[in-house]
């Protein structure tokens, strides 16, 4: 799994790797991987070039400059969009972690009439595409004055069936003995969930958090519809409108795209193993 730790078995595996076929496979995989990141490399490289250098397609700029970043970040628009996106993604993620877990836990660990019905009802919403709901949501938002507000951007995603289902799967694996013991100790049900059950499903929580954050950070369709004033744009909507305005100033467009990409890349580099495991967990159980 990891390339950094070298145990005896891995050393043996490495030795087996050293065969012509293996070397060719490895080289091809590396080339493929480099092709995958080429668009990102060109994006970063061009964001460090002056307008005159854009046409010279060297990957390493002759005289790298941060001028584009100063220019793009200068008027504060990108900063505002960045803060909007961060606030929205964090709030929605927190809400999903709280409510999806609570509902998943209730459906997994409580006995009551109607439990299966509620579960099926929530699960059935997975079949409803967002695109079908945006028109009613737009109507609802305009009637309730939610257009052009953080809440208007956030409300559709505050809970998700996917997250609820994922958390239910994991809570089912929590042994009842622990919960019973807590009950005997006189803890109330909310405390049992929050203090006893939640710490036992941390991997699932992090998987849910990663997915929700990423999904909301990159969300485009609904924020595009619900926001009309530039101050409330999220980063993707901002990048889109900025790029359309910048027209053929590709170095500025690449800088905007880079600003939108850098935060998630940094988070990924810091938490790579964690994120990959989270994606695997969510993909296999979800």
Partner 1 sequence: MASVHAYQQTGRVRFWDRLNISTKRVIWAWTFLALPILFYTGIRFYPTFQAFWLSLTNWDLLRPAQFIGLANYQKMFADPIFWKVFQNTFLYLLVGTPLSLLISFVIAYYLDRVRFMHGFIRALYFLPFLTTAAAMGWVWRWFYQPVPIGVINSVLSTIGIEQQPFLRSTTQALPAVLVPAIWAGLGFQIIIFMAGLRAIPGTFYEAARIDGLGDWAILRKITIPLLKPTTVFLVVFSSIGFLRIFDQVYNMTTNDPGGPLNATKPLVLMIYQTAFSSYQMGYAAAQTVVLFTILLIVSLLQLYVLREKK
251-280 residues in contact with partner 1 (CB under 8 A) are 253-254, 256-257, 260-261, 264-265, 268, 272-273, 276, 279-280
- Identify which of residues 200 and 279 has a Cβ nearer to partner 1 in the complex: 279
Question: Judged by CB under 8 A, does residue 217 bind partner 1?
Answer: yes
Q: Does 27 bind partner 1 (CB under 8 A)?
A: no
Q: Which span (70-78, 145-153, 199-207, 243-251) binds partner 1, by CB under 8 A?
A: 243-251
Question: What are the C-alpha distances in Å from 237 to residues 37, 85, 102, 166?
Answer: 23, 10, 32, 29
**73 makes contact with partner 1 (CB under 8 A):** no
Determine, following the binding rule CB under 8 A, whether residue 284 of this chain makes contact with partner 1: yes
> How many whole angstroms separate alpha carbon 151 and alpha carbon 140?
12
Residue 213 in the binding site for partner 1 (CB under 8 A): no
With CB under 8 A as the contact rule, the residue among 69, 218, 271, 274 that binds partner 1 is 218
Cα–Cα distance measured from residue 114 to residue 121, given in angstroms and rounded to the nearest whole number: 10
Q: What is the DSSP letter of 6?
A: -
The answer to whether 201 and 137 have CB atoms below 8 angstroms apart is: no
CB-nearer residue toward partner 1: 67 or 250: 250
Least distance CB 159 / partner 1 (angstroms): 5
Whole-Å CA distances, 148 to 68, 88, 152: 29, 13, 7
CA dist 39 and 215 (Å) reads 21
Q: Nearest 5°: phi and psi at 63? A: -135, 85
Name which position in 2, 143, 176, 229 contacts partner 1 (CB under 8 A). 2
* 195 lines the binding site for partner 1 (CB under 8 A): no
CB 88 within 8 A of CB 156: no
For partner 1, which stretch binds (CB under 8 A), given 72-80, 117-125, 145-153, 195-203?
117-125
* DSSP letters for 210-251: HHHHHHHHS--HHHHHH--SGGG--HHHHHHHHHHHHTT-HH
Q: Does 125 bind partner 1 (CB under 8 A)?
A: yes
The answer to whether residues 163 and 96 touch, using CB atoms and an 8 Å cutoff, is yes
10 binds partner 1 (CB under 8 A): yes
Contacting residue, 51, 83, 121, 202, with partner 1 by CB under 8 A: 121
Q: Which is nearer to partner 1, 10 or 67 (CB)?
A: 10
Q: Choose between 70 and 266: whose C-beta lies nearer to partner 1.
A: 266
- Name 134's Cβ contacts closer than 8 Å, sequence gap at least 6: 221, 222, 225
Is residue 122 a contact point for partner 1 (CB under 8 A)?
yes
Structure tokens at 281: 């967990």
Rule CB under 8 A: say whether 222 interacts with partner 1.
no
Contact residue for partner 1 among 73, 94, 133, 200 (CB under 8 A) = 133
81-100 residues near partner 1, rule: CB under 8 A: 99
Name the one residue in this structure whose structure tokens are 């507000």: 149
Q: Phi and psi at residue 227, in whole multiples of 5°?
A: -110, 135
Does 1 bind partner 1 (CB under 8 A)? Our answer is: yes
Rule CB under 8 A: choose which of 73, 118, 187, 200 binds partner 1. 118
């Amino acid at each position: 799994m990891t390339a950094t730790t070298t145990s005896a078995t891995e050393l043996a595996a490495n030795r087996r790797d050293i065969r012509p076929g293996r070397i060719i496979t490895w080289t091809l995989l590396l080339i493929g991987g480099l092709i995958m990141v080429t668009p990102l490399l060109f994006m970063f490289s061009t964001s460090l070039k002056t307008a005159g250098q854009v046409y010279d397609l060297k990957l390493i700029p002759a005289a790298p400059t941060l001028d584009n970043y100063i220019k793009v970040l200068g008027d504060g628009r990108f900063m505002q969009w960045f803060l909007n996106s961060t606030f929205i993604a964090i709030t929605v993620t927190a809400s999903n972690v709280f409510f999806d877990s609570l509902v998943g836990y209730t459906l997994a660990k409580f006995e009551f009439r109607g439990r299966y019905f509620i579960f099926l009802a929530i699960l059935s919403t997975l079949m409803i595409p967002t695109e079908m709901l945006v028109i009613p949501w737009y109507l609802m938002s305009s009637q309730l004055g939610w257009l052009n507000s953080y809440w208007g951007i956030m409300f559709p995603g505050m809970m998700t069936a996917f997250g609820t289902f994922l958390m239910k799967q994991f809570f089912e694996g929590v042994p009842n003995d622990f919960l019973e013991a807590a009950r005997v100790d006189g803890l109330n049900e909310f405390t049992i969930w929050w203090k006893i059950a939640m710490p036992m499903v941390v991997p699932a929580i992090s998987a849910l958090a990663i997915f929700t954050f990423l999904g909301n950070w990159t969300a485009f369709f609904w924020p595009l519809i619900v926001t009309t004033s530039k101050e409330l744009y999220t980063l993707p909507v901002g990048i889109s409108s900025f790029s359309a305005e910048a027209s053929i100033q590709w170095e500025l467009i690449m800088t905007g795209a880079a600003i939108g990409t850098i935060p998630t890349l940094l988070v990924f580099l810091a938490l790579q193993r964690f994120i990959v495991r989270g994606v695997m967990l969510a993909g296999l159980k979800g």
